[in-house]
Amino acid sequence: MSITYGISDLARELDVTTRAIRFYEEQGMLSPERRGQERIYSAKDLVALKLILRGKRIGFSLAECKELIDLYDPSSGNRRQLETFMEKIAARRAQLEQQLLDIQQMQLELDTAEERCLAAMAETDRKQRVTS
């Protein structure tokens, strides 16, 4: 018999709220079985939720996470899923590298603006001392 989880068990296992789990279910990212009102989550749902949480931590959109989940195919060794994941990792890394360059450029511009302000303030103070 395969391992299953109730919503509270899954939430506790991955330290997320039951509300978050229901949201991901509404987005079509999780598909629990139903026993009346009770949701029964499978090991596949656990893996999908782990992938969602990992994807969020590294900046993937929910659409990107859903795309990866939809590629889940254990019969193929998940090759397409892994290849797509690697492509998304490379794209995210390139985006972060560009953001880092942008931040460094902005810091240089802030340094320049600060130096100019300090020089202008010093000049203002010097003029005031001369006229006093």
CB neighbours of residue 122 within 10 Å: 10
What pTM does this model have? 0.74
pLDDT tens-place string over residues 18-67: 999 999 999 999 999 999 989 999 988 998 999 999 999 999 999 999 99
Domain ranges of the chain: 1-70, 89-132
Residue 7 has pLDDT above 70, yes or no: yes
Of 83, 102, 105, nearest to 94 (Cα)?
Answer: 102
The per-residue pLDDT of the chain, averaged, comes to 93
User: Under CATH, which number does the domain 1-70 receive?
Assistant: 1.10.1660.10
pLDDT at 1 > cutoff 80: no
